[in-house]
Amino acid sequence: MSAIPAVVLGGTGYVAGELLRLIAAHPRFELAAVMSDSQPGEPLAAAFPHLGGAYPDERFKSQAQTQEIVSAARVSAVFSAAPHGASAALIDALLRTAERAGTQPRIVDISADFRYATPEAYAAVYRQPHAAPARLAQFSCALPEHLRELPTAHVGHPGCFATAILLASVPLLAARLVAPTLFVSGVTGSTGSGRRPVEGTHHPLRHADLYSYGALRHRHVPEVTACARAACGVDAHFAFVPHSGPFARGIHVTVQAQLARALDSAGLLAALREFYARAPFVRVESQAPRIKDVASSNYAHLSGAVAGGTVAVLCAIDNLNKGAAGGAVQWMNRMFDLPETTGLTAPAPGWT
Give the pLDDT of residue 347: 95
Domain extents in the chain: 4-141, 160-319
Concerning whether 160 is annotated as a catalytic residue, the answer is yes
pTM beyond cutoff 0.75:
yes
Give the pLDDT of residue 198: 75
**Among 273, 262, 261, which residue's Cα sits nearest to residue 313?**
273
Give the pLDDT of residue 37: 84
| Phi/psi-derived region of residue 116, left when phi > 0, alpha when psi is between -120 and 50, beta in every other case | beta
Mean pLDDT within 117-141:
97
* Beta-carbon count within 10 A of 194 CB: 14
Q: Check pLDDT > 80 for residue 201.
A: no
User: pLDDT class for 206, splitting at 50, 70, 90?
Assistant: confident
Mean pLDDT within 33-40:
91
- For domain 4-141, give the CATH number: 3.40.50.720
CB 172 within 8 A of CB 263: no
Domain 160-319 has CATH 3.40.225.10: no
Tell me which of 141, 160, 227, 315 is the catalytic residue. 160
Q: Check pLDDT > 80 for residue 194.
A: no
Give the pLDDT of residue 300: 98
SS3 letters across 206-248: HCCCCEECCCCCCCHHHHHHHHHHHHHCCCCEEEEEEEECCCC
β-partners of residue 31 are 6
Distance CA 334, CA 311 (A): 33
Give the pLDDT of residue 85: 92
pLDDT (tens digit per residue) in 245-277? 999 999 999 999 999 999 999 999 999 999 999
